[in-house]
Amino acid sequence: MSLLDRIESVKQAALNELRAAKELPSLERAKGAFLGGEGQFTALMKELGTLAKEVRPLAGKAINAAKQELEAIVAEKRAELELRAALPKEPTDFTLPGRRRSLGKLHPLTQVTDDIVKAFRRLGFAVADGPEIEDEYHCFDALNTPADHPARDAQDTFFLDVPSKPLLRTHTSSVQIRVMKSQPPPIRIIVPGRVYRRDNADATHNPTFHQIEGLYVNKGVTVGDLKGTVEAVFQELLGKDVKLRFRPHYFSYTEPSLEIDFTNALVKKLGKDWLEIAGCGMVHPQVFENVGYDPEVWSGWAFGFGIERIAMLRYGITDIRLFYENDARFLKQF
């Protein structure tokens, strides 16, 4: 057999042995037998000197090419066997209890939402729900927000790229319409839920956040009911030293409309006198018309506030993004 043929057959033998290795030691042993200092390829190299000058470079090249190919296979096989060696020998039973018992905790936003819901339930409010993917009718039109209103600006709203142009609700107020359309008054609901706006993320804004909507419809409802209810809930949530201030504002679905400012010791510590915390007002007669309630008979109020805002006040958090990063070191503190 010529040297070239022998190189090829040694290479084939090496390939077979390397590929057959089932554990790291047998792989290393095979590597040594072929590629090591005492290995078969070293022996073949030594024979080069006995060859005629013309064929020597060709044979040398063939040996080097074979060695390179085999080294690559060794590396690949080694990685595979190392990975296999690192895997557990027995299947893992993920249902076994942990060595350190820990059930985890509810996310701070969930805790705050639960507390707000509890406070309102005590006052007789039921929890209602609605879709996050909404249409313009429920999110804007029925709320008396005309098509040229700035709140409908494409800057603020995420639209879905399909022909019916659904959108991600920008506020939970859409659920007011859904609930009033589905049942006759009286109504006393709150709606916790996620909303979406095209805000760039910074310390106090995020493209998605959470709100609680409130709606009370009955006969002879007054702004006094609204103030008393909101004040009672905020004091329960954030302490007795809470003070609220109601300021005139504009929302298309309430008349009059008010904004609620909030203060307590923490707000003062942040160097502020008041923090804007909610929008509210008496339900606009046009909204009642839109859902088929007689505005001459029924009156009501509504409010909406951001849950993150309240959680930040409660816990003294200054960066909203902490709520969404799910860093266990942050979450463990609540």
Q: Does 279 bind ligand DAH (CB under 6 A)?
A: yes
Q: CB neighbours of 284 closer than 8 A, spacing ≥ 6?
A: 144, 252, 253, 254, 255
Tell me how far, at minimum, the Cβ of 254 lies from ligand DAH, in Å: 4
Contacting ligand DAH within 150-189 (CB under 6 A): 171, 173
Site string for ligand DAH, 303-322 (x = CB under 6 A): xx------------------
DSSP state of 165: -
| Identity of the residue, 108 or 279, whose beta carbon is nearer to ligand DAH in the bound complex | 279
**Is the CA virtual torsion 225, 227, 233, 239 positive or negative?**
negative
Q: How far is the CB of 109 from ligand DAH (least distance, A)?
A: 17
Q: Which is nearer to ligand DAH, 41 or 251 (CB)?
A: 251
Dist. CA 78–CA 9, nearest whole Å: 23
Euclidean distance between CA atoms 45 and 11, whole angstroms = 13
Outline where 21-129 has alpha helix (H): 24-35, 40-47, 56-86, 108-122
145 binds ligand DAH (CB under 6 A): no
Nearest approach, Cβ of residue 281 and ligand DAH (Å): 5
Pick from 172, 176, 144, 185: nearest CA to 299: 185
| 173/299 with CB nearer ligand DAH | 173
CB of 27 closer than 8 Å to CB of 40:
no
Q: How far is the CB of 248 from ligand DAH (least distance, A)?
A: 12
Q: At its nearest, how many Å lie between ligand DAH and the CB of residue 93?
A: 48
Q: Single out the residue of 77, 287, 98 nearest to residue 174, CA to CA.
A: 287
* Residues 93, 285: Cα–Cα separation, whole Å: 61
Does 130 sit near ligand DAH (CB under 6 A)?
no
- The minimum distance between CB 259 and ligand DAH, in angstroms, equals 8
**Is 140 a residue that touches ligand DAH (CB under 6 A)?**
no
Task: Spell out, one character per residue from 236 to 275, where the chain touches ligand DAH: x when CB under 6 A holds, - when not.
Answer: ---------------x--x---------------------
- Say whether residue 302 binds ligand DAH (CB under 6 A): yes
207 upstream amide cis, omega within 30 of 0:
no
| Interaction site with ligand DAH (CB under 6 A) | 171, 173, 213, 251, 254, 279-281, 302-304
